[in-house]
C-alpha cells in the first residue's frame, strides 16, 4: 500500500509543529485530494468497476448469435465409393424473444452494478469528509487547549511562587495546579481522538501513515 503522512491544517488556525507528523517526508492532502485518492485505491470501488465490466461482457455474449458448426467426415458411406466426403453445416438461431429476454436481463445486471458502485462511492466520500472534518475539529481543540494550558501553567507557577513567599493562599495555589492537570488530561483525551480519526482515514484511503 502507498505510504503518506497526512498534514491537516485547520482553516484560519496555524497549527504548531508538534501537531504535525515528524517522521518521514510530509505530503499535505486537501479534502478533494483525499477523496480522489480513496476512490482510486478503494478495493470495493475497484471490485464494483470490474463487476460492471463483467456484466457488459455478459450482455454482449447474451445477444450474440451462436457460432456456425461445420462437421466434416470422410470414408465409405451408403455407397460403393470408399472415399465419400460428407459436410454438415448447423446453425442455431434462437427465437427473437430469447434475445430480447437475455438483453433485458443483461441490462438489469449492468444497471444494478452501476447503482451499487454509486452507493459505495457516495458512502466512501461521506466517511472521508466526516473523518477529515473531525480531525480538523480535534486539531483546533488541541490548539486551544495548548494555549489554555500555557496560561494556567503561568498562573500555577505564579501562585506557587506567591504562596512560598507568604503572599498567597494555599487554595489559590491548589486551584491553579488542579486546572493545569485538568487541561493536560483533556489534551490526552483529545490526542486519542486524533489518533483514532487518523487510523480511520488511513483505512479509508487504503494507505499507511509513516
Cell numbers for 158, please give them: 505564579
Q: Is the pLDDT of residue 124 over 50?
A: yes
Higher local confidence (pLDDT), 15 or 33:
33
More confident residue, 190 or 103: 190
Confidence of residue 19 (pLDDT cuts 50, 70, 90): very low
Confidence of residue 157 (pLDDT cuts 50, 70, 90): confident
Model confidence band, residue 159 (pLDDT cutoffs 50, 70, 90): confident
Give the relative orientation of helices 31-41 and 170-205 as an angle to the nearest 10 degrees. Answer: 40
pLDDT for residue 195 is more than 90: yes
Instruction: Quick: pLDDT tens for 61-71.
Output: 666 555 655 55
Which cell goes with 66? 451462436
**With bands split at pLDDT 50, 70 and 90, how would you rate the model's confidence at 18?**
very low
pLDDT of 1 reads: 43
Amino acid at each position: 500500500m502507498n505510504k503518506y503522512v497526512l498534514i491537516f491544517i485547520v482553516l484560519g488556525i496555524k497549527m504548531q509543529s508538534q501537531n504535525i507528523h515528524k517522521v518521514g517526508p510530509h505530503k499535505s492532502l486537501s479534502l478533494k485530494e483525499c477523496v480522489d485518492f480513496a476512490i482510486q485505491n478503494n478495493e470495493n470501488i475497484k471490485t464494483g468497476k470490474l463487476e460492471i465490466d463483467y456484466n457488459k461482457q455478459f450482455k454482449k455474449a447474451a445477444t450474440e448469435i451462436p457460432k456456425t458448426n461445420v462437421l466434416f467426415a470422410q470414408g465409405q458411406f451408403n455407397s460403393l465409393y470408399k472415399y465419400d466426403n460428407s459436410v454438415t453445416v448447423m446453425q442455431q438461431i434462437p427465437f427473437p424473444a430469447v434475445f430480447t429476454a437475455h438483453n433485458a436481463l443483461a441490462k438489469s445486471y449492468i444497471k444494478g452494478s452501476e447503482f451499487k458502485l454509486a452507493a459505495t462511492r457516495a458512502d466512501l466520500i461521506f466517511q472521508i469528509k466526516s473523518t477529515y472534518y473531525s480531525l480538523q475539529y480535534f486539531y483546533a481543540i488541541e490548539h486551544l487547549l495548548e494555549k489554555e494550558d500555557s496560561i494556567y501553567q503561568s498562573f500555577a507557577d505564579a501562585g506557587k511562587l506567591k504562596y512560598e513567599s507568604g503572599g498567597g493562599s494555599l487554595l489559590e495555589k491548589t486551584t491553579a495546579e488542579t486546572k493545569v492537570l485538568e487541561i493536560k488530561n483533556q489534551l490526552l483525551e483529545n490526542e486519542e481522538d486524533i489518533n483514532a480519526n487518523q487510523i480511520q482515514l488511513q483505512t479509508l484511503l487504503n494507505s499507511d501513515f509513516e
